[in-house]
């Protein structure tokens, strides 16, 4: 679908005069203690004048429902939960009988209408009968309907939670290709799956720059380890060799520099590269292995994995004071940390008796809990830009695939990435390649 076609989309219906106060509108605090679960019912798609709907609108409705299943704070309700069945005669508030919806404890009701290439979608709050979100899309075609549905869900999530990073991000990840691994990108819902590198060897550990323009990664081949940087605008990647034997876990800082584990002093330490890609002095140096740096949004806190005290554990560097603090004490093998943008939570992989599992540590409350439960191995956790969703790779269904959960440990959902093993997902604030 051409971009223009849905850029033409416009806001159809304004909030009712009385309902325009933000305070009156239902909102969901996805970060609050004890998550709210909001029930939403999607009514059958209709034509503008009656029950007949276009195939496009039906497809839109199905995709929206599939998208909603990724949002743990929403529960999709079924029509049989409503006394008397479908309580609507049309698409707007006046055409809906809200009473049975209220009785059925439905918080939100969504109507979808379609004629030809036009689609209208509205979400009402059932207790106040207020319109939360109303959108109309013109010139939608079959290829673009999923993207339009994703945009609608992004809006809905933003209205309810104030966040929409899940829909506005692109995942970069490693995928097995011809005996090696190359990098791919796709939306968090698996849309726009595209192979972006073709270097040969193994491309691993992708990490987005904060502006979403570059992906740094490690290329492993018989030439050794090289730092790769893929340029999203130019669609090309460049490889760079460093002294020493390794170039592991390159990670962008919020200022746009790359922190990377190099062994230029004989053992893997984390170095910050300058604008000419030259390493300065190591961050948090030690005689043990140090890899997998991850920064908060301020860039002043860096968590990383280090074997400085024996087995691998998670540590945090305060870049202002230079102090290094040990974060994990339980378990003998804790690796691959990801710091939430606000710097409060660390997710990491812990080797348990049942395999690798993802744990989260609240650095303020000083509490830790498990958020994935296998089976198989769960590893490579990564926070989304909102610090709410956590993506990870898991072998729970046989081959290795990418899954998403939340920091509360909601049931994990698989992200479609096509055939073949996929791992090391990284979130980038950039729309998926079309």
Partner 1 sequence: MNAKRFFASIMMLCMLVALGAGCAKKTTDSMPASATKVEISDKDSDWQSQPAPARSMTEDELRAQQREQAQRELGNMIFFAFDSFELTPESREVLNAKADALKKYSLFTIVIEGHCDERGTSEYNLALGERRAKAAQQFLNQLGIPDNRMTIVSYGKERPLDPSKTESAWSKNRRDEFKIQN
Chain positions contacting partner 1, by CB under 8 A? 181, 202, 204-205, 218, 220-222, 224-225, 245-246, 248-249, 261, 263, 266-268, 289-292, 305, 307, 311-312, 333, 335-336, 349, 351, 355-356, 377, 379-380, 423-424
Could you tell me how far CA 282 lies from the centroid of its own chain?
Answer: 30
Q: Which of 75, 63, 77 is nearest to 150 (CA)?
A: 63
Whether a cis peptide bond, with omega within 30° of 0, leads into 230 is: no
Residue 110 or 349 having the CB closest to partner 1: 349
CA distances (Å), origin 145, targets 112, 149, 158: 13, 6, 20
Whether a cis peptide bond, with omega within 30° of 0, leads into 234 is: no
Residue 46 or 226 having the CB closest to partner 1: 226
Residue 120 or 380 having the CB closest to partner 1: 380
Q: Is 267 left (phi over 0), alpha (psi -120 to 50) or beta?
A: beta
Residue 113 or 312 having the CB closest to partner 1: 312
DSSP classification of residue 283: E
Residue 86 or 421 having the CB closest to partner 1: 421
Sheet with 258-262: list strands edge to edge: 247-252, 258-262, 269-273, 279-283
Residue 108 or 204 having the CB closest to partner 1: 204
Q: Residue 258 in contact with residue 210, Cβ under 8 Å? A: no
Q: Residue 363 in contact with residue 345, Cβ under 8 Å? A: yes
Q: How far is the CB of 378 from partner 1 (least distance, A)?
A: 10
Q: How far is the CB of 368 from partner 1 (least distance, A)?
A: 18
Q: Which parts of 211-360 fold into alpha helices (H)?
A: none
Q: Which of 257, 370, 357, 270 is nearest to 315 (CA)?
A: 270
Residue 39: strand pairing partners = 75
Q: How far is the CB of 206 from partner 1 (least distance, A)?
A: 11
Q: How far is the CB of 168 from partner 1 (least distance, A)?
A: 27
Reduced to 3 states, what is the DSSP secondary structure of residue 57?
Answer: helix
Residue 138 or 352 having the CB closest to partner 1: 352
Q: How far is the CB of 228 from partner 1 (least distance, A)?
A: 14
Residue 104 or 331 having the CB closest to partner 1: 331
Q: DSSP assignment of 351-395, as one string?
A: EETTEEEEEEEETTTTEEEE----SS-EEEEEE-TTSSEEEEEE-
């Amino acid at each position: 679908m051409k971009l223009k076609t849905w850029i033409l989309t416009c806001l159809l219906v304004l909030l009712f005069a009385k309902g325009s106060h933000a305070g009156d509108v239902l909102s969901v605090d996805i970060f609050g203690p004890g998550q709210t679960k909001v029930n939403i019912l999607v009514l059958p798609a209709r034509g503008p004048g009656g029950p007949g709907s276009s195939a496009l609108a039906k497809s839109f409705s199905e995709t929206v429902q599939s998208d909603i299943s990724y949002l743990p704070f929403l529960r999709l309700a079924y029509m049989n939960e409503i006394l008397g069945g479908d309580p609507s005669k049309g698409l707007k508030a006046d055409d809906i009988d809200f009473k049975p919806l209220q009785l059925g404890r439905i918080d939100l009701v969504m109507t979808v209408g379609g004629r030809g290439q036009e689609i209208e979608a509205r979400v009402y709050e059932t207790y106040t009968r207020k319109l939360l979100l109303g959108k109309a899309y013109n010139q939608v075609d079959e290829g673009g309907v999923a993207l339009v549905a994703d945009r609608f869900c992004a809006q809905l999530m933003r209205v309810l939670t104030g966040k929409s990073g899940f829909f506005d991000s692109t995942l970069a990840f490693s995928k097995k290709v011809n005996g090696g691994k190359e990098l791919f990108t796709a939306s968090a819902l698996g849309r726009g799956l595209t192979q972006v590198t073709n270097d040969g060897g193994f491309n691993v550990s992708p990490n987005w720059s904060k502006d979403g323009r570059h992906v740094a990664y490690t290329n492993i081949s018989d030439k050794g380890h090289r730092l790769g940087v893929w340029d999203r605008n130019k669609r090309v990647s460049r490889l760079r060799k460093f002294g020493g034997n390794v170039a592991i876990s390159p990670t962008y800082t919020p200022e746009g520099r790359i922190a990377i584990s190099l062994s230029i002093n004989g053992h893997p330490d984390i170095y910050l590269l300058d604008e000419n890609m030259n390493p300065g002095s190591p961050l948090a140096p030690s005689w043990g292995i140090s890899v997998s740096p991850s920064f908060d949004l301020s860039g002043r806190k860096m968590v990383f994995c280090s074997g400085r005290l024996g087995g691998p554990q998670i540590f945090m560097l305060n870049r202002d004071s230079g102090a290094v603090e040990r974060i994990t004490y339980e378990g003998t093998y804790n690796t691959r940390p990801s710091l939430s943008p606000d710097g409060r939570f660390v997710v990491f992989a812990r080797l348990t008796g049942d395999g690798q599992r993802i744990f989260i540590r609240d650095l303020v409350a000083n509490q830790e809990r498990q958020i994935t439960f296998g089976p198989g191995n769960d590893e490579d956790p990564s926070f989304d830009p909102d610090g709410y969703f956590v993506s990870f790779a898991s072998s729970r269904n046989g081959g290795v695939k990418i899954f998403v959960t939340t920091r509360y440990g909601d049931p994990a959902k698989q992200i479609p990435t096509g055939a073949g093993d996929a791992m090391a997902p990284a979130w980038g604030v950039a729309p998926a390649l079309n």
